Structure 1
Amino acid sequence: MSEVVGEIMTLMLMAAALGMDAFSVGLGMGMYKLRLRKIFEIGIIIGIFHVLMPLAGMTAGRFLSEQFGALASFIGGLLLIILGVQMIWSSLKDDDEKVITPVGLGLLFFALSVSMDSFSVGLTLGIYGAKTVLVLVCFGVMATLQTWAGLLLGKKVRGWLGAYSEALGGAILLAFGIKLMAVFL
């Protein structure tokens, strides 16, 4: 029982790290004059993408694990490290991001862009044989909640937390990657 609780806690922490980019971009988008119904819709769509992308990644990860065994595990840890460093790096850059409007194709592009890292993490979790339904529920629910929080908070503040939240998410993924790679060192 404690093993399941530990796995849920780990997955929720990973899901929170992955949802940080949705949260931080949601902060910026929250500055649009959005109705609560639109905020609800955006959160649901982001949540769906945070289910579909790790599912695709887990499927690919399980295939790689069966084909390449320990090498696939090493690559999975390396992917988390690279993703974590990339998230930290992008949070430190000073460029202005292009604003994507949260309607139509812009919303789908936004959802895809903030869930791409979920594919990589899903790949790693597939390699390690994580419980698929548990991963997808944790990732989908957390991404939806963080998107809503970012959008609602964005209506109230000017984005002062955005870069820091993405850096925190990157640091969490980096730590998990190092932990997974430590097995091989």
Structure 2
Amino acid sequence: MNIISTTLLALAMSTDAFAAAIGKGATLKSPKLSEALRTGLIFGVIEATTPLIGWAIGRGAAQYIAAWDHWIAFTLLVILGIHMIYTGLKDTESVEEKPNHHTFIVLAITAFATSIDAMAVGVGLAFIDVNITVTAAAIGLATFTMVTIGFMLGKVLGIMVGKRAEIFGGVILIGIGSYILYEHLYVLV
């Protein structure tokens, strides 16, 4: 793969993480750059790791991951999205403070759910002549950058949607999960 192909692949792999980061940024009280960088780092590391895992799996069991990757991503994202919507709907009468940051586990689960497609790509890359380390690093760097930017964009959207930001973020995650499932099922038709 040449540098243009690697760059385009890296950007494509970071788009769903970018959308999820917008939702995450929108749900915070006052997102700061340090929190955006932390979120970008968590997403970037996970997004860079999953193609490596997929590549290793691709050497032996590609058909098993490819058959279920879209369902795993869909399920995780919908569960997280429903939880966010539920949180956004409960206690709407009380003025509950928005959190200052998201927990590591919430960010890691969201990052993993949005990186399932990168794992599937890693499986596919196992069958072609590619430097998987360089490709995974490019995917991680693109994701870090896009998530950091998306998180800060979420700050602006959070102000616009006010106390319904959690619902907005949940809808984004469900939309991403549904799109991943649709994209896979549409390809099969």
Q: Is residue 35 of structure 2 the alignment partner of residue 78 of structure 1?
A: no
1:115 matches 2:105 = no
C-alpha distance after superposition, 1:135-166 (max 9, x if no partner)? 54235423542343224432533326423322
Match of 2:27 in 1: 28
Contact 1:23–1:147 (Cα < 8 Å) also in 2: no
Partners of 2:142 and 2:5 in 1: CA distance:
18
- Asked if 1:95 corresponds to 2:95, the answer is no
Map of 2:173 onto structure 1:
166
Are 1:42 and 1:102, in contact at CA under 8 Å, matched by a contact in 2?
Answer: no
- Matches of 1:179 and 1:83, distance apart in 2: 16
Distance 2:49 2:123 in 1: 17
Provide the C-alpha distance between the structure 1 equivalents of 2:48 and 2:3, rounded to a whole number of angstroms: 20
Q: In 1, Cα distance between the equivalents of 2:181 and 2:120? A: 13
Task: Answer yes or no: is the 8 Å Cα contact 1:20–1:165 preserved in 2.
Answer: yes
Does the CA contact (< 8 Å) of 1:81 and 1:178 recur in 2?
Answer: no
Compute the TM-score of the two structures, normalised by the length of structure 1.
Answer: 0.64
Is contact 2:6-2:135 (8 Å) kept? no
How much has 1:16 moved relative to structure 2? 0.9
Aligned partner of residue 63 in structure 1, secondary structure:
coil
Give distance in 2, aligned partners of 1:6 and 1:137.
11
Alignment match, 1:68:
none
What is the TM-score with the length of structure 2 in the denominator? Answer: 0.62
Change (3 A) 1:127 1:40: closer
Matched to 1:95, the amino acid is Y
Gaps of 5+ in 1: 66-70
Q: Report the count of equivalent residues.
A: 168
1:176, distance to aligned residue in structure 2 (A): 3.5
Which of 43, 47, 58 is matched with 1:46 structurally? 43
Q: Partners of 2:35 and 2:81 in 1: how far apart?
A: 27
Unpaired runs of at least 5, structure 2: 89-97
Q: Which residue of 2 aligns with 1:56?
A: 53
